[in-house]
Structure formats: structure tokens, C-alpha cells
Structure 1
Amino acid sequence: MTTLHDYLESAGCDEGLTTLIELIALQAVPIREAFITHQSYASTENVYGEQQAAMDTWADERITMVLEESGLVRELSSEEQDEIRTFSDAKYDYAVVMDPMDGSSLIQTNLAVGTIVGIYDGGKVLQPGRHQVAALYMLYGPMTTLTITVGKGVYIFALDHTGVYRLLEAEVRMPEGNLYGTGGARPDWTDEHAEFITEIEKEGAKLRYTGSYVADFHQILKYGGIYCYPALKGKPDGKLRLMYEANPIGFIAEQAGGAITNGRQNLLDVEPGTAHQRTPIYVGSMNMIGRVRECFARREA
């Protein structure tokens, strides 16, 4: 059975990128072990003023330490850190953006959570998402899975009991499904978003939403549909972050035949102004994304 290493070599990844991807992927092993002892909330807040779960800080510190010591990464930007980190002793010019523990509020309920990573060449993290050379996420559910693209389609691997990632599904294509998940309280939705949700519900769209962005997107990747975290009244930029959440997931979605937008623009084309820039997100099947764009265009006409 094809392993992650076999796939990366066959995809033409250079030695540095292969080593970096494998190093990040293997952090799933200590992360899964740490869930048992890091159930509580920490006494700290992240840059957004959000209370951090113990696993937020643990996973962030763990992955940051490993990447700094590796010499593979020139710049690192994490959702959990105020500033972009620069590692001047790096031997390679890769740059990494990450949400080290997405969905951490669900850990105590034993629902699926994950780690989201985007990788750029050129040593700088402030680049449009389209410039990523790889994007991946580890999903910690009944299995530990790795969903990855290196710009040549999407592949899913599962971590076996020996610590090896083995191919689960090759050349994943996102179907035109009718699942949807949406964040934000309904009274806070904008008119555009409320109209879109009302339309697809009338046509039989089914709600699937846990509050774990990476887990909710994985359902959309497998079964088709759309994940949304929209602009809200009083919060025109929404909640999620362009660099850590939109770009890696959007790159994977596009490589699987889907798309990502803020309702008006492909998010992979947005030039980030700051590391923690927020954005509305609609990501999913091409037909659903087309419906979003049509709805926004009608409202602006």
C-alpha cells in the first residue's frame, strides 16, 4: 500500500518539502497522546481575545519547536501567536502558516478536531493562498487522517499503528452534494447570507455543523455541499482567518474541483495585509459556490 513518503516522491516534491511535510504530519502522534492530559482551558487568551484551550497552546508550542529545530522553515505564522516568527538559521526558504488546533472547544466532548497547515516557498508567509506549494490538515477522529495537496490533486492518508501514513483515497474529487454548515447566529446574518441559506434549504439542503471547521469541511469534501462562515452584522470580516483557515482549506478544495470565495472574490487571490486578517468564507462544491456568487450579485444589482 502506498505510503505518504512514496506519494511525495512520486509527486516530484524535493527533499526539503518532503521532509517538512512528513515532519508536520508525524506531530499527530504526540498530539493525540496529549489530548488526555490537556482537556481544560488555559488561563491565557490568543491575539483575538479568545480564551485558549490547553491543547491550543500545547500544540502550538510543540509544532513551533519542531519546525524551528528542523532548519526547514524561514518564517512561521500561527493563529495562536501575535507575531510572525523568523528562524534566521533555517537552511531552506519554506514558510508555514498554521492553525495548530482547530475546533479545540470540542475536545472535552470527544468530537473531531484538527490541525491546518499551509506551506509556501520563498521564505515569506504574507502571500496569496494560490502561491502555496502544499496544504494539508490532520483530522483527529476515529482515525487520524491526513488530507493533502501539493498542487497535483488531493490525497487522503490514514495513520496506522506503526506511525506510517498509508493511502486511503487518491485523486479525491468533491461531488456536487447538498450538505451545508454555517457559523454565526441567525439574527446576525447579513441579508445576502440569509437569502442564500433560505434558497438552498427550500431545495433540500441538509444541515451538518459541529463547530469544528476542519471536520465540517471534511464532510463537504467527501459528500459535497458548502461550508460557510459569513460576514455578520457588525462584523463585516466574519470570524475566520484568511491565512490559517481560508487559504489552506481553499487550496485543497480547488484541487478537488471545488472553490472558495468571500461572496465576491476567490479568496486564494487575496493579498494578505496582516497575518491575522479575517474574512468571510464560503468553501465547497462548484455549483454551491456559483449560487453564492449569484446571490451576492443580485443583492448588489
Structure 2
Amino acid sequence: MKTLRHYLDETACEEPLKDLIELIAYQSIPIRDAFIDNQTYADTENVYGEEQAALDKWADQHIISVLGESGFVKAIASEEQADIVRFPDAYGDYSVVMDPLDGSSLIQVNLAVGTIIGIYRGGDPLQKGEDLAVAMYMLYGPMTVLALTVGDGVFTFAMNSEGIFVLLKEDIQMPEGKLFGSGGLRNEWLPGHQDFISLCEQSGGKLRYSGSFVADFHQILTYGGVYCYPAVVGKPEGKLRLVFEGNPIGFIAKQAGGAISDGTQDLLTILPEKPDHRTPIYVGSRKIIESAESCMKQ
């Protein structure tokens, strides 16, 4: 079967970028191995005041250490870090944005969580999502799955019994499905979002929401539909971060024929103002995102 490296060697990626992609993808092995010993909360908060799981901290420190030692990366913007981590002596010229462990509140109940990664050329991680060179995530479920785009379609890989990523699906196209899931408290939803969810329900949509963005998006990638975390009363900027979550996931969605929006515009065209740039997110099948934007504008 075709391995991740075999696939990368068929792309137009430069050799250092292929090596960086592989290096990051295979950190899924030590991260998954660390689950048993990092089940609890760490009695600390991240820079955004959110309670950290022990594995949040472990995965963040592990990936930063590995990438720093690799020499490939000039800068890392991580959801768990207040500031951009820089490596001025790196010989490579890439920057990485990451959510080291998305959905960590689900670790103790053994539901799927993941690692979200974006790679830019150049040492600035605060670029538009449309300028990503690579977007990928590792999903830790019954299988360890890698979803990857280098700007030429979306491919998924599964880790086999020998610890090698092998091709699972190629050139994925997101269907116009009917799954939907929304974050935020229903009684805090704004009128436009309420109208959109009502439209999803009236159209026969099926509710799917686990609390893990990457796991919920993977269902949307496979079956079609929409994942959203909207603006809510008192929080017009929403909850999720453009840099670490919205841009990499949105880039994958768009490469699969889908779309991502903040309710009014393509998220990938927005230049981040800071690492902690929050935004409402609607991501999924293109026609459903158009319907969401129509409801927001009304």
C-alpha cells in the first residue's frame, strides 16, 4: 500500500517540507502513548483562562521541543502559548500553527480527540489561511488517522500495526450532507444563528456534536454538513481561534470542495490580528455555508 512518504514524494513539495510533514505526523505515536499517564486535569489554566488537561501541556511541550530540535521551523504559534515561540537559529524557513490537543476534555471518557496543524512558508505564523502550504490533523479514535492537504486535494492516511501511515482515501470531496452541530448555549445564540439551525432542522438535518472540533469536522468531511461555533450574546467574536483552529481546518475543507466562513465572509481571507484572534466559525459543505451566510446577513 502507498505510505505517507510515497504520497509526499509524488507531490510538488520541496524535500524539507516533506520531512517536516512526516516529522509532525509521526508525533501521533508518542502523543497517543501518553494518553494513559495524562488522564487528569493539570490544575492550571492556559493563557486564555481555560482549564488544561495534563495531555494539553504534555503534547504542547513535546511538539515544540521536537520542532525546535529539528531546525526546520523558525516560529510556532500554539494555542497553549501566550506568545509566538521563535527559533532564530533554525536553518529551515517554515512556521507552524497548532492546537496540540483539540477536544482534551474528552480524554477521560475515551472519545476522539486530535492535533491540528498548519504550516506556512516563511517565519511568520500570522498569515492568511489561504496562504497555508500545508494543513493537517491527526485524529486519535479507534484508528489513528491523518488528514492532509498540501494544496492539491485532501488525502487521509491510517496508521497500520507497524506504526506506518498508509493511504486510506484519496482526493476526498465533501458531499452536500445534512449533519450539523453547533457550539454555544442555545439561549445565547443570536437571531441569525437561531434561524440557520432551525433551517438545518427543518431540512432533515441530523445533530452530531461531541465537543471535539477536529472529530466533529472529520464527520463533516466524510458525510457532509456543517460544524459551527457562532457568535453569542456578549461574545460577538465567538470562541474558536482563527490561527490555530479555523485556518487549518478551513483550508482542508476548501481543498475538499467545502467552505468556511465567519458568517459573513471567507475565513481564509482574514489576516490574523494576533495569535489569540477569535472568530465565529461555520465550516462544511459549500451550499450549507452559503445558507448560513444568508441567514446571518438577514
Q: TM-score, length-normalised on structure 2?
A: 0.99
Q: Which has the higher mean CA deviation after the structures are superposed, 221-230 or 9-18?
A: 9-18
Q: Which amino acid aligns with 2:163?
A: G
Following superposition, the deviation at residue 2 of structure 1 comes to: 0.8
Q: Which residue of 1 aligns with 2:136?
A: 136
Q: Which amino acid aligns with 1:203?
A: S
Following superposition, the deviation at residue 250 of structure 1 comes to: 0.1
How far apart are the structure 2 equivalents of 1:232 and 1:209?
17
Q: SS in structure 1 opposite 2:37?
A: coil
Q: Which residue of 1 aligns with 2:148?
A: 148
How big is the alpha-carbon RMSD for the aligned residues of Structure 1 and Structure 2?
A: 0.5
Mapping of residues 63-212 of structure 1, within 5 Å: 63-212=63-212
Q: Which amino acid aligns with 1:153?
A: G
Following superposition, the deviation at residue 113 of structure 1 comes to: 0.1
Q: Which residue of 2 aligns with 1:8?
A: 8
Please list the CA deviations of residues 8-53 of structure 1 after superposition, one character each: whole Å capped at 9, or x if unmatched.
Answer: 1101211110010000000000111100010000021111100100
| 4+ residue runs over 2 A deviation | none
The alignment of Structure 1 onto Structure 2 pairs a total of residues equal to 298
Asked whether the 8 Å contact 2:113–2:140 carries over to 1, the reply is yes
Please list the CA deviations of residues 159-213 of structure 1 after superposition, one character each: whole Å capped at 9, or x if unmatched.
Answer: 1121210000000000000000100010000111001001110111110000000
How far apart are the structure 1 equivalents of 2:3 and 2:44?
39
Matched, 1:269 2:269: yes
Q: SS in structure 2 opposite 1:92?
A: coil
Q: Which amino acid aligns with 2:62?
A: R
Q: Which residue of 1 aligns with 2:36?
A: 36
How far apart are the structure 2 equivalents of 1:83 and 1:161?
38
Q: SS in structure 1 opposite 2:288?
A: helix
Please list the CA deviations of residues 58-116 of structure 1 after superposition, one character each: whole Å capped at 9, or x if unmatched.
Answer: 00000000000000000101000110011011111100000000000000000000000
How far apart are the structure 2 equivalents of 1:288 and 1:211?
21
Q: SS in structure 2 opposite 1:115?
A: strand
How far apart are the structure 1 equivalents of 2:171 and 2:269?
24
Q: Which residue of 2 aligns with 1:239?
A: 239
Following superposition, the deviation at residue 297 of structure 1 comes to: 2.1
How far apart are the structure 1 equivalents of 2:287 and 2:91?
43
Asked whether the 8 Å contact 2:192–2:297 carries over to 1, the reply is no
Q: TM-score, length-normalised on structure 1?
A: 0.98
Q: Which amino acid aligns with 1:88?
A: P
Q: Which has the higher mean CA deviation after the structures are superposed, 251-260 or 156-165?
A: 156-165
Q: Which residue of 2 aligns with 1:250?
A: 250
Please list the CA deviations of residues 207-242 of structure 1 after superposition, one character each: whole Å capped at 9, or x if unmatched.
Answer: 000000000000000000000000000000110000
Following superposition, the deviation at residue 293 of structure 1 comes to: 1.2
How far apart are the structure 2 equivalents of 1:121 and 1:32?
28
Identity of counterpart residues, as a percentage? 59
How far apart are the structure 1 equivalents of 2:256 and 2:20?
23
Q: Which amino acid aligns with 2:6?
A: D
Q: Which runs of 5+ in 1 are unaligned?
A: none
Following superposition, the deviation at residue 156 of structure 1 comes to: 0.2
Q: Which residue of 2 aligns with 1:57?
A: 57
Q: Which residue of 2 aligns with 1:220?
A: 220
Q: SS in structure 1 opposite 2:226?
A: strand
Q: Which has the higher mean CA deviation after the structures are superposed, 211-220 or 5-14?
A: 5-14
